[in-house]
Structure 1
Amino acid sequence: MKTWLITGCSSGLGQRLAEAVAARGDRLVATARSTDSLLPLSERYPETVRSISLDVTRAGDAAKAVALAKRAFGGLDVLVNNAGFGFIGAIEEAEPDEYRPMFEANVFGLIETTRAALPALRERPGARLVNLSSGAGIAGSAGFGFYNATKFAVEGLSEALAQELAPLGLKVIIVEPGPFRTEFLGRSMATAAREIDAYAETVRARRRYRETNDGRQAGDPDKAVAVMLQAIDAEHPPLHLPIGPRAHAIAERKLDAFRADIAAWRDISIATDFGAPT
């Protein structure tokens, strides 16, 4: 039986994961900015589920959630950094007061929650640290540049953490889902207020994608959660876990393009050491 702390349990994959964790009998500290949405879950599982308000951008909230896990269940085995939101808009279109809050939640909030939980996780050999990235964390695309930047940050941070924590027996998993039928394109996606005509061919299509695909995504979130649980339970979990055909296609295209660039410029770009022929 594991003890979990999951951020962003009010909706989306966080909510589905929290429900699955509770249903299988594990202990859970479920968190969201408002605990109202968490009451049904804690009432169904009063012995194994606790809920607490956690705004990842508010100092001290994460430490209180970790303290609750230790007080109620004696420790912490799995942290899932799921809280966050998306943003659509060209780099030139967006204003700081539109995109900076996303960095506070997706990057700095994740960092501070992780830092608060690591002392407890280090007490449990075999503990898991799970960071929700995205297909947008694998490759950038027009209209999602700021969101890409937050998820690229999560990827780099997670890869470094994996190396730091490996000697301690802790495993890091970066979950990279494609589009799944959650509220992500609705309540969890912000949009730049300004539109610049010069970006009509590239970015405007992304805005329309949100409007036409919200609630119609091909991915089944319960199946995504099942994959996540299998990876977290595995003795040797993957560092990178793309989920869904779209995420895998993004990863494969990125790898192919990366290899092509490296091969095309290899001879020129490696001849840079002192004494190397030019």
Structure 2
Amino acid sequence: MKTWLITGCSTGLGRQLAEAVAARGDRLVATARSTDTLQSLGERYPETVRSLALDVTRPGDAARAVALAETAFGGLDVLVNNAGFGFIGAIEEAEPGEYRPLFEVNLFGLIETTRAALPALRKRAGGRIVNLSSGAGIAGSAGFGFYNATKFAVEGLSEALAQELQPLGLKVIIVEPGPFRTEFLGRSMSAASREIAAYAETVRARRHYRQTNDGRQAGDPAKAVAVMLQAVDAEHPPLHLPIGPRAHAVAERKLDAFRADIAAWRDISIATDFDTHARDSALDAGQDGLN
């Protein structure tokens, strides 16, 4: 039996995961900005579920959630950083007041929640940190630049964290879902308040996608959650976990394009070291080759 702390449990994959965790008998601290959305979950599982208001941008909230896991259930095994939202708009279109909150929630909120949970997670062997990224964290696309930026940051942070925690027996899983039938394109998506005609050809398609696909996404959230649970339970979980055919297609296109660029420019771009005699002279003088 594991003890979980999940952020953003009011709707979407966070809610689906919370339901699945509780249903299988694990212990859970379910959090959302308002506990009203979590009341029914706590009523159905009074012995194993605790609900708490948590705004990842509010100092102290994450620490209180971790403390609740420790006092109510004796510790913490799994942290799921799920809280977040999306944003549509060209880089030039968006104003700071529109895109900075995206970073506060999707990136800095994740960082602070992780930092608050790590002391508790380090007390137990086999802990897991699950960070919700996205197919948008694998490859950038016009109109999603700011959202891409937050998720790319989550990817890099998670990769570094995985290396830091590897000797401690803790694993990091970066979940990279494609489109699933949740409220993401609705209440969990905001957009730039102005539209610049110059970007109509690229960004307008993203706005149209949101309007026409909300509630019609092909992905089944229950199936995505089943994959996440299997990864958390695995002895050797993946660091990167794209979920859904769209996410896998994005990853494969990105890898193909990356390899093509590397191959095309390899001979020119690797010939950038000092000439051998200069490098040897530097080493003879006691240089270690590091800046």
Q: TM-score, normalised by structure 2?
A: 0.95
In the other structure, the counterpart of 2:6 is 6
In the other structure, the counterpart of 1:256 is 256
3-state SS of the aligned residue for 1:173?
strand
- Aligned equivalents of 1:136, 1:52: Cα separation in 2: 29
3-state SS of the aligned residue for 2:92?
coil
Does 1:130 find its partner at 2:136?
A: no
Q: How does 1:1-278 map to 2 (within 5 A)?
A: 1-275=1-275
3-state SS of the aligned residue for 1:107?
helix
How far has the Cα of 1:12 moved from its partner?
A: 0.2
- Structure 1, residues 182-223: CA drift from partner, whole Å, max 9, x if none? 000000000001000000000000000000000000000000
- Aligned equivalents of 2:207, 2:117: Cα separation in 1: 36
The aligned amino acid for 2:178 is G
- Aligned equivalents of 2:239, 2:27: Cα separation in 1: 24
- Aligned equivalents of 2:64, 2:228: Cα separation in 1: 26
- Aligned equivalents of 1:44, 1:220: Cα separation in 2: 24
Ranges in structure 2 where 5+ consecutive residues have no aligned partner: 278-291
- Aligned equivalents of 1:168, 1:84: Cα separation in 2: 28
How far has the Cα of 1:181 moved from its partner?
A: 0.1
The aligned amino acid for 2:196 is I
- Aligned equivalents of 1:96, 1:130: Cα separation in 2: 29
- Aligned equivalents of 2:67, 2:264: Cα separation in 1: 53
Runs of 4+ in 1 over 3 A off after TM superposition: none
- Aligned equivalents of 2:44, 2:218: Cα separation in 1: 30
3-state SS of the aligned residue for 1:131?
strand
How far has the Cα of 1:276 moved from its partner?
A: 6.5
- Aligned equivalents of 1:102, 1:68: Cα separation in 2: 27
- Aligned equivalents of 2:276, 2:174: Cα separation in 1: 39
- What CA RMSD, in Å, does the superposition of the two structures yield over aligned residues? 0.8
- Aligned equivalents of 1:95, 1:167: Cα separation in 2: 42
- Structure 1, residues 210-260: CA drift from partner, whole Å, max 9, x if none? 000000000000000000000000000000000000000000000000000
How far has the Cα of 1:103 moved from its partner?
A: 0.2
3-state SS of the aligned residue for 2:66?
helix
3-state SS of the aligned residue for 2:76?
coil
- Aligned equivalents of 2:125, 2:56: Cα separation in 1: 25
- Structure 1, residues 84-112: CA drift from partner, whole Å, max 9, x if none? 00000000000000000010000000000
- Aligned equivalents of 1:276, 1:82: Cα separation in 2: 50
Aligned length: 277
Identity rate of aligned residues, in percent?
Answer: 88
- Aligned equivalents of 1:126, 1:196: Cα separation in 2: 50
Closer, same or farther in 2 for the Cα pair 1:257/1:276, shift >3 Å? farther
The aligned amino acid for 1:240 is H
- Aligned equivalents of 2:247, 2:176: Cα separation in 1: 7
The aligned amino acid for 1:89 is G
- Aligned equivalents of 1:142, 1:136: Cα separation in 2: 11
How far has the Cα of 1:4 moved from its partner?
A: 0.1
- Aligned equivalents of 2:130, 2:223: Cα separation in 1: 17
Closer, same or farther in 2 for the Cα pair 1:194/1:232, shift >3 Å? same
